[in-house]
Structure 1
């Protein structure tokens, strides 16, 4: 009788062990899929999209030798405002807004080796999970007066903004479109704020959570946002830059 009990206990322990091992293997596979496979898929897709955009732009005509465009004042600013920043090219002023989820620009961060498509919208399935950077609707387009604000994953799905915390004042952020190349320069960072802090992507970006973080005057800004700390979505990390130059293509 006692032997039978021991036998049943041993079988139960063995079955429990098998279940635990199986669950562990499944969890490990899920982690591998999330941290490795999604990155590989998204990066390959993003690189292919960048190549496709450049090929498409090339087929529409050979680009001109790059020449800086004349500075254009922001909407509502007088012509004699001090230190006006370069504005959009005439061609881009006429261009219709991109469709939802459409990739229409390439964002490069030379300091980090990042080169990814920019698509309209910040939806996960249609944009961010493809490894793209997403443009916040109702914020400025590249080179336009106001705030060109974008979001990107910090972990998984290509993680284009994995190391944006390493950016420092003076580092370049480049945005290439069919008609022009825009160079922004990193100016300020906000290491942590709440996901609800919409002020950081306002036309004049300024945190509504952390007083003093941001700007108080109109200009030509770029804002990068991503999750922080890594592997969480508890807070947001923000990098701000200012438009330095425009080269027509």
Structure 2
């Protein structure tokens, strides 16, 4: 019997088509897009939620620490509140305001840089935040604090006490600053006194270089119709505008109405 020969099948591989390559490229691109989207989403969550939570917790804890420190200080003999004269009669539309008399004589020494030493309260927008010396981002503003511009007057003093705060992220203490209206009350508590200011006017938008809004007699050099013309005790609040940008600055001015010594 003759043996049966078995043939080994020959497999001929055809050309690879371009479709699988295109499909793999599209799939890889889709994976990269999803990954990038997830990373961007995490960044947004970090900026808009996590930084706010961290900063608000830190700012709230700092307010509590200051209040405890002041409560444990030796009490001084009580002093009657000293009202400052209403600047309205001295305002002729150009922002003239007579200097208040309810302040202590002399110029208080500025506190050390980055140290929280006062508490800002604005009932209209539900704000309670610590004030620290300086306007550095890492050391002050990103903690949810309000920063005091070096070189400007201290709260309650003659001249212009100027403050800055974030409008978005990192606690965003000045998020609703644009809601303030003339007549709104602003108070600043320190270890020695409570200073009560009244909002007088708002500059909705100016350039970051409009530095005269921080002058002892504040006035906008970009929008000359906004500001004051005579010495007094002023409070200037500044933040970025529009929201989520740093293109321009929003400015709110207030004048000292009364001082309550502790």
CA contact (8 A) 2:133 2:148 kept: yes
SS at match of 2:17: helix
Following superposition of structure 1 onto structure 2, how do residues 72-221 of structure 1 map, counting pairs within 5 Å? 84-89=99-104, 96-221=109-234
- 1:25 matches 2:26: no
Q: Residue 69 of structure 1 aligns with which residue? A: 82
Distance of 1:144 and 1:237 partners within structure 2:
23
SS at match of 1:67: coil
CA contact (8 A) 2:143 2:170 kept: yes
SS at match of 2:212: helix
Q: Deviations over 1:123-166 (max 9, x none)?
A: 10010000000000110001100000000000000000000100
SS at match of 1:141: coil
CA contact (8 A) 2:83 2:258 kept: no
Aligned length: 238
Alpha carbons of 1:239 and 1:130: their partners in 2 closer, same or farther (altered >3 Å)? same
TM-score (normalised: structure 1)? 0.90
Distance of 2:132 and 2:138 partners within structure 1:
12
Structure 1 stretches of 5 or more lacking a match?
73-81
Distance of 1:194 and 1:217 partners within structure 2:
23
Distance of 2:76 and 2:24 partners within structure 1:
74
Alpha carbons of 1:3 and 1:86: their partners in 2 closer, same or farther (altered >3 Å)? farther
**Shift in Å at residue 94 of structure 1?**
7.8
CA contact (8 A) 1:53 1:104 kept: yes
**Shift in Å at residue 206 of structure 1?**
0.3
TM-score (normalised: structure 2)? 0.86
Alpha carbons of 1:55 and 1:94: their partners in 2 closer, same or farther (altered >3 Å)? farther
Distance of 1:109 and 1:240 partners within structure 2:
13
**Shift in Å at residue 48 of structure 1?**
0.2
Distance of 1:57 and 1:208 partners within structure 2:
40
**Shift in Å at residue 65 of structure 1?**
5.2
Structure 2 stretches of 5 or more lacking a match?
1-13, 86-96
CA contact (8 A) 2:83 2:257 kept: no
- 1:232 matches 2:245: yes
